[in-house]
Amino acid sequence: MDSRDTAFLGGNEEPVLKKWLFISGVLAAGLLVVGLIGVMAPGVLEGVYAQDKKPAASSGGGETKKKKRRRGRRILVHVDTVRIEPMLQTMPVIGRMVAVRAGAVAARINAPVAEMKVDVGDRVQKGDILAILVNEIFKWDRQEKAAQVTESQAKIATAKARLALSRQGLKRISDLRTSAAYSKARFEDKRLEVTRYRAELAETRAQLLRARASLRLAETELRYTLIRAPYSGAITRRHTEAGAFVKEGQTVYTMISDRDMEVEADVPARRIAGLTAGKKVTFELVRGQRIEASVRAVVPEENVRTHTRMVRFKPNFKIRPENLAANQSATVYLPIGKSRTVLSMHKDALVSSRGVPTVFVIRNRRAYARQIEIGDGIGGRFVVLSGLKEGEQVVVLGNERLKDGKRVRISGVSD
């Protein structure tokens, strides 16, 4: 140690040495800590990095599942097949149901009403008793006419006996022609007597016919005291009451036969040419339910104000509708052209995209929008002029929520 070091130590070596030893220990401890950190740092950092990554990875996986669920959600739709079918263009005409039989039921004799058997709304069958008239007079009159018949029959028997006796006397006189006892005068008298008795027999026979006719009239009048339904139907009006006196021809009831109905329509005269007897048409009582009918008759009388003619159609009810009523409205569809084959689709498949007719066509479980051109309507379908082919399936229910290329689930078809 030179003089400068000794000066530095200031001649007091022990405190300075302790100070240097303390500094050296601190430095060594620091180096040891740095070394340990260097050894442990990769594992610690890796663990920290892994902890930081786990929540992120978990969050990212959740978003992926939601996206998959969102992409997997498909709209349920109903479809219909585009098909070729015959088309007959028709023209609707408003008509009405009319009863073939309807009208008044009248009294046939003059008599008081004893009893009214039915009321308004009652259904009756042909031959049912509707009302009973007082019949005592008619019963006694019938008995009187029956007695006259018996009397005429007795007169005929008497006339026959007289005629036989007269013929027998004439024969005896005729047998005496060859004898002296024969008298020509007596023979002529007896012959005239036979002629008279023969005429009397003819007269009594005529009386018997007249008596029998009177008896039948009396029986008919007695039968007319029971007013019966002339046909099956329903009572629509009652015109009198028990105790009232009705005259011959006076209306007692009004009834209608609702089991025998026809369709009546006023058809424009220019459309009459194609309506011949037996021509098939269709009509509707309820919207969407077509019923077949045939032309029964075209009335040869034209309305000068409307230029229409009355046509009667006979309906062909496979299943008779309930509660048919006279004057019920009916829409008759008259053919106005020849039948032709066309491509058609269901009307519910049509949606409007910016004013252009559009449908959604199903292909590989996806719905693709396609613009088409349509023509006339055929009932619940449209004629397709272009844009579709036979056999293609179009969406008819659920298409209001669809977008082009959207995955769909078809009703009634398993995945």
Contacts of 276 (CB under 8 A, 6+ apart): 295
- 3-class SS at 279? coil
Judge whether residue 34 has pLDDT over 90.
no
pLDDT grade for 14, boundaries at 50, 70 and 90: low
> Which of the two residues, 331 and 319, has the higher pLDDT score?
331
What number is the average pLDDT over the span 364-371?
92
- Residue 313 pLDDT exceeds 70: yes
For the chain, the residue count is 415
pLDDT on residue 66: 53
Q: Model confidence over 192-250: pLDDT tens digits?
A: 888 888 999 999 999 999 999 999 999 999 999 999 999 999 999 999 999 999 999 99
Q: In degrees rounded to 5, what are phi and psi of residue 289? A: -115, 100
CB 78 within 8 A of CB 346: no
Identify the architecture of domain 90-100+257-335 in CATH. Answer: Beta Barrel (2.40)
pLDDT at 274: 80
Using an 8 Å Cβ cutoff, are 351 and 359 in contact?
yes
Lowest model confidence (mean pLDDT) among 2-6, 138-142, 374-378:
2-6
CATH of 75-88+340-410, one of 1.10.3720.10, 2.40.420.20, 3.40.640.10, 2.60.120.10: 2.40.420.20
Contacts by 161-168, CB closer than 8 A, 24 or more apart = 162/197, 162/200, 163/194, 163/197, 163/198, 163/200, 163/201, 166/190, 166/193, 166/194, 166/197, 167/194
Give the pLDDT score at 51: 47
**pLDDT of residue 298 exceeding 80:** yes
Exposure b/e, 233-262, CB count within 10 A at least 16 = b: bbbbebebeeeeebeeeeebbebbbbeebb
Residue 169 has a pLDDT of 83
Confidence grade of residue 64 (pLDDT, cut at 50, 70, 90): low
Predicted local confidence at residue 213, as pLDDT: 95
pLDDT for 308 beyond 50: yes
Weakest mean pLDDT among 142-146, 220-224, 361-365, 376-380: 376-380
Question: Does the pLDDT value for residue 53 go beyond 80?
Answer: no
Model confidence at 266: pLDDT above 80: yes
pLDDT at res. 146: 94
Report the pLDDT averaged over residues 261-284: 90
The domain segmentation of the chain, as residue ranges, is: 3-67, 75-88+340-410, 90-100+257-335, 136-224
Tell whether the model's pLDDT for residue 57 goes beyond 50. Answer: no
Residue 240 backbone phi and psi in degrees, to 5: -150, 180
